Structure formats: C-alpha cells, structure tokens
Amino acid sequence: MVNNPDIGKLVLRLTLGLLMLLHGISKLQHGVGWISGELASHNLPGFLAYGVFIGEIIAPLMVILGVHTRIGAVLIAGNMLVAIVLVHMGEVFALSKTGGWALELQGFFLFSAVAVFFLGAGKYAIRK
C-alpha cells in the first residue's frame, strides 16, 4: 500500500485552490456589484466587496503554489464564512432538492480550507 501524505496534501491544495480560483475568475469577469448589494443590505460599505478578490484569487493562488499556504487557507475560510453569513444563513440547516446539504459547495470550501490550515502545504510547495 502506498502511503504518501505529501501527495495527499498536494491533491487537497490543488483541488481547493483551483475550484475556488474559478469562482474568483468569474467575479473578475462579471463584477462584484451583487456582493456590494448584499453588504449594503447588512449596513456594511459596498467597497468591502472587493475583498472577495483576496479570498477567491490571491488566497487560492497561495494555496495552489504552496506559498504561505496556511495564511491562504485562513483567507479562504474567512471568505466562506462571510459568504455564508451574507448570502446563505437561511440555508445552513436546509437540504437541497436532491437531499444533500444545501451548502455542500460552501461547506467543501470552508472545511477543506480548515484542513489545509491544519495539514500545511507538505513538501510539494514553494514555501510552506
């Protein structure tokens, strides 16, 4: 049986980072206006919407490359907590139409980021 935790960490980092980065690229292409609206509905300044680029572009690149990986993971986890509070609070205890948790995607990003934080980058990283 093959036991290589560093390959496992790499797979987890690449999966989390690439899937989150795609969300960030979409926001680069389509803007963050709707996030500004969500922030305004919570009496928060709209310019904070640009923080999503930290959580969905910069942090995923940090995780993918293995550059200050734990910091990148914390930024992704924080980004997901803000997203859940701003947009998805009503779904925290809900099931989807197919029977899964309504927040499966958000949960994946949040808990994978927490796992990367605790596991670290592994040896296949630029800088741990």
The Cα diameter of the chain in Å comes to: 55
Q: Is residue 14 part of a domain?
A: yes
Q: Is residue 63 part of a domain?
A: yes
pLDDT at 57: 98
Tell the residue number behind the tokens 């859940």, with chain if given: 84
Q: Is residue 124 part of a domain?
A: no
Q: Is residue 126 part of a domain?
A: no
In angstroms, the Cα distances linking 32 to 8, 25, 69 are 34, 11, 25
- The domain containing residue 36 runs over which residues? 5-119
- pLDDT band for 43, please (50, 70, 90 cuts): very high
Q: Is residue 53 part of a domain?
A: yes
Q: Is residue 127 part of a domain?
A: no
Whole-structure pTM value: 0.92
Q: Is residue 95 part of a domain?
A: yes
Question: What's the number of domains the chain is made of?
Answer: 1
pLDDT at 107: 96
> Taking all residues of the chain, what is their mean pLDDT, rounded to a whole number?
94
Q: Is residue 106 part of a domain?
A: yes
